[in-house]
Structure 1
Amino acid sequence: MGLRDTANEHRGDPFGITSAAVVLVDVHGMIRHWSERAETLLGYPATDVLGRPAMSVLVSEESPASMMSRARRFEGCWEGLVTARHRAGHPVELAVRACPLDTEQGSGWLAVACDVASSRQWELDQAVLRSLLEESPIGVGVLDTDLRLQWVNQVLAAMEGLPLHDGAEGAARIPQTGEVPPSVDWQARQVLMWGRVSPALEQVTPPAGMSRRGSHGHLRLRSSFPLRDPYGKTLGVCHTAVEFNAEDRARERLALVNEAAQRIGTTLDLDRTVQELAEVLVPQLADFAAIDLFEGVLAAKDLSSGPISGGMLRRAAHLSIREEVPEAVVPIGEPTGYPPKSPQRRCLTTGRTIRDPVLNPTTWWLAGDQQRLAKLVRLGVHTHLVVPLRARGVTMGVVTLLRWDNPDPFDEEDLLLVEELVARAAVCVDNARRFVREHNAALALQTSLLPPDLPDHCAVEVAYRYLPTDAEAGVGGDWFDVIPLSGARVALVVGDVVGHGIHAAASMGRLRAAVQTLADLDLTPDELLAHVDDLVLRLAEEAEAATDNPMVVGATCVYAVYDPISRKLNVARAGHPTPAIAHLSEPVELPDIPAGPPLGLGGLPFESAEIELEEGSVVALYTDGLIEASDRDVDVGFERLCFALAHPDRPLEEICDTMVRILLPDHPRDDVAFLIARTRALTPDRVASCEVPADPQAVHETREKVACQLAAWGLEDVVFTTELIVSELVTNAITHASGPIGLRLIHERTLICEVSDTSNTSPHLRRALSTDEGGRGLFLVAQVAQRWGTRYTATGKTIWAEQQLPGAGCR
């Protein structure tokens, strides 16, 4: 008879008050209470039995006193079997527990009953559980969700050497410490992460000093599974262990190979992988193990070019049964310096395992270093084994094993086992090397596509953070930028390409270059995003055509233009989180900017919104990785963001550090990029403007006004070139445009001359022929100005030119 399945049905004590039939009998033997379960069990509704004698529902006419005399005592009550009469007429055998109940009217009885089958099944379940925990050879322990031991039986406590609290008796024992062995911790973590884990065989090493020949220790089969309440919530992990003799060396080797498969290559970290190999080899197979790798393998971290094999060997990992590791004469990361005739060099040259049962100074790799050799001789090293670390046709290093505490030399079976373990580990090492190289290559590409340093601008003070994720998915496509625009304005950009890896990084570089190019055209934010959307659509078409080289085609972006003269911020976003604005005298604001569709959908318009800012306000643009985390809702992320920006008068670097500390977990699951800018304002005395009549005679008067204004600014050195620029631009507007003509001079780090008119026709630079009477104006402007361009407005266009001012800075 097996145990009933309780995975989907919670079943407790059948005599429990919520599951048993409950009957209350008064001092006169009359039924005073009849529960719903009693009605279900015997078919009588409460209205039919209340006030009737209890004996009326029993088959036996035996008195209650007589029945109690045959029942057995059970924790102050009486327990026995009775036969009741069902309402339908057939007998029902019941298991009953009755307790005396003293009332003011005298002594009555409180009885609980269940069918005999349920009672016997529950007793069987309890007997099996007690035997499993107390009498079986299976070790059982319970860990909480923090992976600390809460309860163990005696078998597991003896297996692991766990001390118990004094007075702990029976199956329920509380360990003195919640710490668990590494093998138990590893399995339990896998259960909490994935919900299940395969059983694992573990070799138990015999005590130190015992020969491994003839006494090969034990094998221990471990298994772990989650403990859940009736509602599916995980309460902890149950761990079981069964130990049996391993005199059969084939089973011992199989257990070690199984352990290696589970313990080596748990991560894609190169250093951790070689250390895991050493932990499997020591002490099961050797008293000391050293793993040396070629520099070409270790160079995967820094992307240096060169062959993988050959060259200098460096110590990657070592492990000894002695805590002080006196035989590890080469520090981690240092060159090993094996001489040409050493076993290691011979192993690498031939590609075969070198096994030497005798410590021969003439062939030992320490030949010529008598002091270090003498240390190993005193230690008792008597044999060594050198195995090449080789995978996919490439030799990456060498593994050296020593024995001194184990008196047995390496035999043929040991050689085959070590070669199998090293071959498995070599594949993991090569995978880790390839991952490190590809991950760092993608990260280097992404970093190279981001601005190495943001430009210093008079309109804003900026700070930023870019935090690539360490997840196995690789780098993402987050980017940010600060782009100087005409008219002393500045563009702030943050974007995020969908996906991870090198394709996302490449797509990010293309989009960032496109945004910079379109920004030079002085497009409004909504127009710029519309053009970038067209570009993403073309990338999608390329991806469909190149099915063997798919490209990431989805992206989000927020583009903002700040004008320090009007102190207005014009923002548009494409499927991106809204910026956050920290005002000096008001709470942090998350303005309602029209969301717009993500880039790449096509056909949908974008909208922009204009916000007026006071000088000193802080604007934060960020990717969704900053506010989205697995352990919280996005609304909580916005609340924390507002809290981090609550004091905009602090230094920007301090604000960045606060945002990272408050908003990001230790290991973010997505790339994070954010840009914060403190606004500055250009005072009215730094801007001069006037209207120019559409009359050629007005050019001379305009030049005089420009000269006076430059003298007031102390810029007499640039009067000549500025008059030349103004003359050409104003003359061009009078000749080819119509309507009012405006002139504006802006004095910041550069001197900006702007001429506006109502025409939508843009002039273009050309080289005039010798016979042409005109056409040289813009050519002259381009020669004397640092840069020049045209931007369109709702009423026409503005032609601008910038001149660099020597020694000028923001004021």
Structure 2
Amino acid sequence: MFHDDPLMVLDDLGVVVQWGCQAQELLGYTAADVIGQPAAVLVAETTAPSRPGARPGAAAVLRNRDGCEVAVDLRVRPMLRPDRSIAWAMYRAAEEAAADTGAAVLEAFFKQWPQGLYLLDTDLRLVRVNTATRNLPDMPADGGLGRRFTDVFDLSAPGETEAVVHEVLDSGVPALGRLVRGRPKGSTGLGRLYSLSVLRLEDAQGAVLGAALAAIDVTVSEAEHARTEVLNTVHERVGQTLDVLANCEELVDALVPGFADAAVVDVVDMVLRGEEPTAGPLGREVPLRRAAYRASDRWSPAYPVGDVRRLPSSTPYAQALTDFRPRLLTLGPDTAWLTADPSRAEVIRLSGAHSLIVAPLALRGTALGLLNLYRTQETGPYDKQDLALALSLATYTALCIDNARRYTREHTIAVTTQRQLLPQCPASQATVETAHLHRPGDRGGGGWFDIMELSGGRTGLVVGEVAGHGINTVATMGQLRTAIHSLAALGLDPDELLARLNDTAMALAEERAALPLGDPLRREKLAASCVYAEYDPLARTCTVARAGHPAPVINFPNEATVIPDIPTGPLLGSLDGSPFTAVTLELIDGSVMAFYTPAFLSCHRPSAQNALALLRQILEHPCRDLPDLCDEALYACQADDSSSAGDAILLLARTHSFPADKVATWPLGYDTAAAGTARAHVRSQLTEWKIDEATSDTAQLIVSELVTNAVRYGSPPLELRLIRDHMLTCEVHDNSATAPRVCHARAFDEGGRGLFITAHLAHKWGYRYTSDGKIVWTEQRL
């Protein structure tokens, strides 16, 4: 074999006519030095010794520029010059150069390479090992030559490794970077982790000679890589929810089995309830709750998840929460401190745990809990780098737990406040039966409902929701609910009531926008939805208006369940100037109305539309008790594992007409005798109803004053109506829109005391406008 470029070219007289770069590197002469000179000047007078394997007559001894002799195997090949003369090209034998270089490189690798190098024959017996391998602890003096490499080294998967080598011998495709844990036979411990690469060896004719194995110790780098992976995994998984227990479970899931064979998280019990833990070291009297546990199949916990107990003193667990310093411990049968906790000691003994890290879950000098990590004989012991990682993981988890604790506390306060702001025991009216469901949202929403007793036997029904969550949302909900009560007492129609409620919401929004720039509430836009219905049992009508809220579902007995077409107004608090529209519906006795928040249906697995269809089907059985209908709607429309940021509210109302024998109505003349006539009617009717005399006398006086004012300041026609429910209601209707007001008469004034006297005698009084005038009413307790 020849190199591609000749060392030199000689003419037929032996004169150098071409000088190659290799010749200049080999002998030091430049082309100017030798071209035109006879080649004889380059030849030494001595004869080069024959090398083993050199061809006869192929060796030549040349003299370099310094006069030293250089032995070279030369090959000669004739070449035709452009002038048709013959020249002779001198080549250095390629076999020599390759053999010399290859042998030098191979020798250097086997003597100086710090990692393992092995040559195997086709039977996988060791033919040669490098110096670094011979220096391994417990390595045989002869390097194990002549024996199969699986007999010399204890590998984690010997059969699998042999299969890889055979596959390389068969296919010739190298296997690179296979991770194998191994150690010399007889060594103790887990051994080292190696990156194993296998190459097939062939001779010049392509015959398979064996395999070359290179084993690079990657124990440290892989351990560091594994620790980085664990850290990244914990940061990805832990802290995704604002739930203390979920964070603890996510932590142990991320650590087992990659970083630990068993992981235990104990949390201070008050932290799980959202309470502020005591600053400083954990007191001996403070209990911890087992929050999460994960281990291999053969482990069984000493204490189950949910168990609450105090840490035994004089143990690393208690000490870690005293000085907030992590511990790296070796476990064994003679570990003295385990006697303080026999149950835990027995579990450690049965599991074969030999290494333990105890890391405090602490933040800003406050103990939140404890992280315990165990390793068994199947994995290596923890080291100082593992201890540093465990402390980092514990600190990060403590931050996540504290965030969840703060949220739990705020959520608990918000839900408790909301529960106090909502009607505690809304009683059904004589003409309206009600039942309700309220499931607070995961983040504490601003949903509310209300059942209000109005004058004239009417009932107000409200369901609404303030957008957002937390204590500020709940406070806004309470403000709007209070405003609705005040507006409803004025007898406003539903559309007018929502318009005035929107004014209140806009005022609250302006106050929020005027907060300091640093206040986070300033950035939260105030928006609320609401549906308001007013049922009149005497007219058997229900007037409904809504502000960005779903319309109610209504079932008429023996008829279809419908969703009435009620135009929606803008959300409360918005700048949309669109008017609110009220729709009056005629209801049959026994009709059932369902008011709800969007969250009640949006949690359903298939879709909100399917859930609405289910709700309509459930209402088609109106004869059932309303609480049973509520439960059935809950089971059908909400998934057990559903979660929602909003409050799920359902309010059912079954309507009835007012009993005719409990209502009395009389027209009155528009003259001075009207007051006397009214007193006579009241006295006669209350006697028939068997109302006590004191109440009757008071009612006569109240009616006399109301009728007198109507005659004096109103306009005909006049009408008197008595309604007997749990209250006695007196109503005087006239055709005037002039609103009555209480006057504070002076001592010598002859009039102006009518409404003042009425306000003191009645439990409540007020007025409301109608389409043809106004009604002034009073209520007396029976």
Residues 409, 587 of structure 1: alpha-carbon distance in 2 compared, 3 angstrom cutoff = closer
Most deviating of 263-272 and 518-527: 263-272
TM-score (norm 2): 0.66
2:725 is equivalent to residue 748 of structure 1? yes
Distance in 2 (alpha carbons) for counterparts of 1:614 and 1:691: 28
Aligned length: 569
Q: State which of 557, 568, 586 in structure 2 corresponds to 1:584.
A: 557
Q: State which of 666, 670, 677 in structure 1 corresponds to 2:653.
A: 677
Distance in 1 (alpha carbons) for counterparts of 2:294 and 2:649: 44
Residues 374, 632 of structure 1: alpha-carbon distance in 2 compared, 3 angstrom cutoff = closer
Q: State which of 653, 666, 678 in structure 2 corresponds to 1:690.
A: 666
Distance in 1 (alpha carbons) for counterparts of 2:323 and 2:610: 62
**2:713 matched residue in structure 1:** 736
**1:799 matched residue in structure 2:** 776
Q: State which of 494, 509, 513 in structure 2 corresponds to 1:540.
A: 509
**1:557 matched residue in structure 2:** 530
What are the Cα deviations for residues 328-360 of structure 1, in whole angstroms up to 9, with x where unaligned? 434433443224433233222222123343669
Q: State which of 446, 449, 474 in structure 2 corresponds to 1:505.
A: 474
Paired amino acid for 1:255: E
Residues 676, 295 of structure 1: alpha-carbon distance in 2 compared, 3 angstrom cutoff = same
**1:273 matched residue in structure 2:** 247
Alignment map for 1:314-329 (pairs within 5 Å): 314-317=288-291, 319=293, 321=295, 323=297, 325=299, 328-329=301-302
2:233 is equivalent to residue 259 of structure 1? yes
Q: Secondary structure at the match of 2:568?
A: coil
**2:702 matched residue in structure 1:** 725
The Cα RMSD (Å) is 3.5
Residues 292, 680 of structure 1: alpha-carbon distance in 2 compared, 3 angstrom cutoff = same
What are the Cα deviations for residues 422-469 of structure 1, in whole angstroms up to 9, with x where unaligned? 233323323332333333333334333322222321120011222333
2:460 is equivalent to residue 483 of structure 1? no
Residues 765, 570 of structure 1: alpha-carbon distance in 2 compared, 3 angstrom cutoff = same
**1:411 matched residue in structure 2:** 383
Residues 710, 331 of structure 1: alpha-carbon distance in 2 compared, 3 angstrom cutoff = same
Paired amino acid for 2:748: T
Q: What's the offset of the Cα at 1:205?
A: 12
Alignment map for 1:559-638 (pairs within 5 Å): 559-599=532-572, 600-628=574-602, 636=610, 638=612
Paired amino acid for 1:578: A
Paired amino acid for 2:454: L
Most deviating of 434-443 and 399-408: 399-408
What are the Cα deviations for residues 27-57 of structure 1, in whole angstroms up to 9, with x where unaligned? xxxxxxxxxxxxxxxxxxxxxxxxxxxxxxx
Q: What's the offset of the Cα at 1:282?
A: 4.2
Paired amino acid for 1:678: R
Asked whether the equivalents of residues 295 and 308 of structure 1 are also in contact (C-alpha less than 8 Å), the reply is no
Q: What's the offset of the Cα at 1:489?
A: 0.3
Distance in 2 (alpha carbons) for counterparts of 1:467 and 1:605: 32
Q: Secondary structure at the match of 2:561?
A: coil
Asked whether the equivalents of residues 504 and 552 of structure 1 are also in contact (C-alpha less than 8 Å), the reply is no
Distance in 2 (alpha carbons) for counterparts of 1:346 and 1:283: 26
Asked whether the equivalents of residues 533 and 602 of structure 1 are also in contact (C-alpha less than 8 Å), the reply is no
**1:495 matched residue in structure 2:** 464
**2:322 matched residue in structure 1:** 349
Q: Secondary structure at the match of 2:562?
A: coil
- Unaligned 5+ segments in structure 2 are 1-178, 197-215
Distance in 2 (alpha carbons) for counterparts of 1:498 and 1:679: 30
Q: State which of 782, 786, 789 in structure 1 corresponds to 2:763.
A: 786
What are the Cα deviations for residues 7-41 of structure 1, in whole angstroms up to 9, with x where unaligned? xxxxxxxxxxxxxxxxxxxxxxxxxxxxxxxxxxx
Distance in 1 (alpha carbons) for counterparts of 2:723 and 2:408: 51
Asked whether the equivalents of residues 755 and 800 of structure 1 are also in contact (C-alpha less than 8 Å), the reply is yes
Q: What's the offset of the Cα at 1:297?
A: 1.7
Alignment map for 1:288-437 (pairs within 5 Å): 288-300=262-274, 304=275, 307=278, 310-311=282-283, 312-317=286-291, 319=293, 321=295, 323=297, 325=299, 328-357=301-330, 364=337, 366-367=339-340, 373=345, 376=348, 383-391=355-363, 394-403=366-375, 405=377, 409-437=381-409
What are the Cα deviations for residues 116-141 of structure 1, in whole angstroms up to 9, with x where unaligned? xxxxxxxxxxxxxxxxxxxxxxxxxx
Asked whether the equivalents of residues 450 and 463 of structure 2 are also in contact (C-alpha less than 8 Å), the reply is yes
What are the Cα deviations for residues 110-167 of structure 1, in whole angstroms up to 9, with x where unaligned? xxxxxxxxxxxxxxxxxxxxxxxxxxxxxxxxxxxxxxxxxxxxxxxxxxxxxxxxxx
Q: State which of 514, 534, 542 in structure 1 corresponds to 2:483.
A: 514
Asked whether the equivalents of residues 327 and 387 of structure 2 are also in contact (C-alpha less than 8 Å), the reply is no
Asked whether the equivalents of residues 789 and 799 of structure 1 are also in contact (C-alpha less than 8 Å), the reply is yes
Asked whether the equivalents of residues 557 and 590 of structure 2 are also in contact (C-alpha less than 8 Å), the reply is yes
Most deviating of 670-679 and 454-463: 670-679
Distance in 2 (alpha carbons) for counterparts of 1:216 and 1:389: 32
**1:464 matched residue in structure 2:** 436
**2:677 matched residue in structure 1:** 701
**2:12 matched residue in structure 1:** none
Paired amino acid for 1:481: D
Residues 522, 205 of structure 1: alpha-carbon distance in 2 compared, 3 angstrom cutoff = farther
**1:214 matched residue in structure 2:** 191
What are the Cα deviations for residues 282-336 of structure 1, in whole angstroms up to 9, with x where unaligned? 4444444332222332221xxx45636644131333546465755x434433443
**1:37 matched residue in structure 2:** none
What are the Cα deviations for residues 603-656 of structure 1, in whole angstroms up to 9, with x where unaligned? 322221211111100112222334557976765555443223222222212222
Distance in 2 (alpha carbons) for counterparts of 1:417 and 1:541: 50
Distance in 2 (alpha carbons) for counterparts of 1:753 and 1:565: 14
Q: State which of 219, 227, 230 in structure 2 corresponds to 1:247.
A: 219
Q: What is the percentage of aligned positions where both structures have the same residue?
A: 39
2:625 is equivalent to residue 654 of structure 1? no
Distance in 1 (alpha carbons) for counterparts of 2:535 and 2:745: 38
Asked whether the equivalents of residues 294 and 308 of structure 1 are also in contact (C-alpha less than 8 Å), the reply is no
Distance in 1 (alpha carbons) for counterparts of 2:258 and 2:390: 11
Residues 318, 618 of structure 1: alpha-carbon distance in 2 compared, 3 angstrom cutoff = closer
What are the Cα deviations for residues 459-485 of structure 1, in whole angstroms up to 9, with x where unaligned? 200112223333xxx333322111110
**2:637 matched residue in structure 1:** 663
Distance in 1 (alpha carbons) for counterparts of 2:699 and 2:775: 17
Q: Secondary structure at the match of 2:557?
A: coil
Q: What's the offset of the Cα at 1:769?
A: 4.0
TM-score (norm 1): 0.64
Distance in 1 (alpha carbons) for counterparts of 2:348 and 2:605: 53
Distance in 1 (alpha carbons) for counterparts of 2:659 and 2:496: 29
Q: Secondary structure at the match of 1:779?
A: helix
Residues 767, 587 of structure 1: alpha-carbon distance in 2 compared, 3 angstrom cutoff = same
Q: Secondary structure at the match of 1:364?
A: helix
Q: State which of 409, 418, 421 in structure 2 corresponds to 1:449.
A: 421
2:711 is equivalent to residue 711 of structure 1? no
Paired amino acid for 1:336: R
Q: What's the offset of the Cα at 1:258?
A: 3.3
Asked whether the equivalents of residues 515 and 532 of structure 1 are also in contact (C-alpha less than 8 Å), the reply is yes
Distance in 2 (alpha carbons) for counterparts of 1:204 and 1:334: 41
Paired amino acid for 1:612: E
Asked whether the equivalents of residues 357 and 390 of structure 2 are also in contact (C-alpha less than 8 Å), the reply is no
Asked whether the equivalents of residues 271 and 277 of structure 2 are also in contact (C-alpha less than 8 Å), the reply is no
Paired amino acid for 1:618: V
Asked whether the equivalents of residues 765 and 778 of structure 1 are also in contact (C-alpha less than 8 Å), the reply is yes
Distance in 2 (alpha carbons) for counterparts of 1:597 and 1:322: 58
